Amino acid sequence: MHLLEIFQALVLAIHVICVAGIVVLLLMQAGKSPKKVPKGLTHLGLTALVAGLALVGIRSGLHHDDAAKWVAYNNGTVALKLVVVIIILVVAFRETKKASITNRTYWTLLLLTVANIGLASSLK
């Protein structure tokens, strides 16, 4: 196994754990009233963003070494995922200091996160 493949697996695990953490933190707010941006959501989002960008760079290197084994990511899907993560982070940062968030904001964060997970399934 190539060292870059091991590093990719490690970064992928970090990325998946962060995205799962975002979903869990948001679902923990489901029954609460008033809802607020959970502590740690922005940190998990930023870590997932950095890990996702690292995954794209690592895959590029692996694709360069063995294009038959490592198919290049679709740049359009990667760009769309990047935009969605940036929107999630902007909304979360804007709402972090507030005492509560609206249900609309809560559902926006949750649905954007789930949509981003769906987009990830199209990356192979």
Domain ranges of the chain: 3-121
Reported confidence tier of residue 17, pLDDT bands at 50, 70, 90: very high
3-state helix, strand, coil in the chain (%, to 5): 75, 0, 25
Q: Is residue 124's pLDDT more than 80?
A: no
Calculate the alpha carbon distances from 73 to 15, 41, 88, 112, 123 in Å: 16, 27, 22, 21, 6
User: What are the b/e assignments for 85-100, b being 16+ CB within 10 Å?
Assistant: beebbebbeebeeeee
Residue-level pLDDT at 119: 92
19 in Cβ contact with 117 (< 8 Å): yes
pLDDT digits (tens, 9 = 90+) for 33-92: 899 999 999 999 999 999 999 999 999 988 888 888 888 888 899 999 999 999 999 999
pLDDT digits (tens, 9 = 90+) for 50-66: 999 999 999 998 888 88
110 in Cβ contact with 78 (< 8 Å): no
Residue-level pLDDT at 61: 87
More confident residue, 52 or 121: 52
Q: How far apart are CA 36 and CA 57, in angstroms?
A: 34
Q: pTM score, two decimals? A: 0.91
Q: Is residue 30's pLDDT more than 80?
A: yes
Average of pLDDT values for 3-7? 91
Percent of the chain whose pLDDT exceeds 70: 98
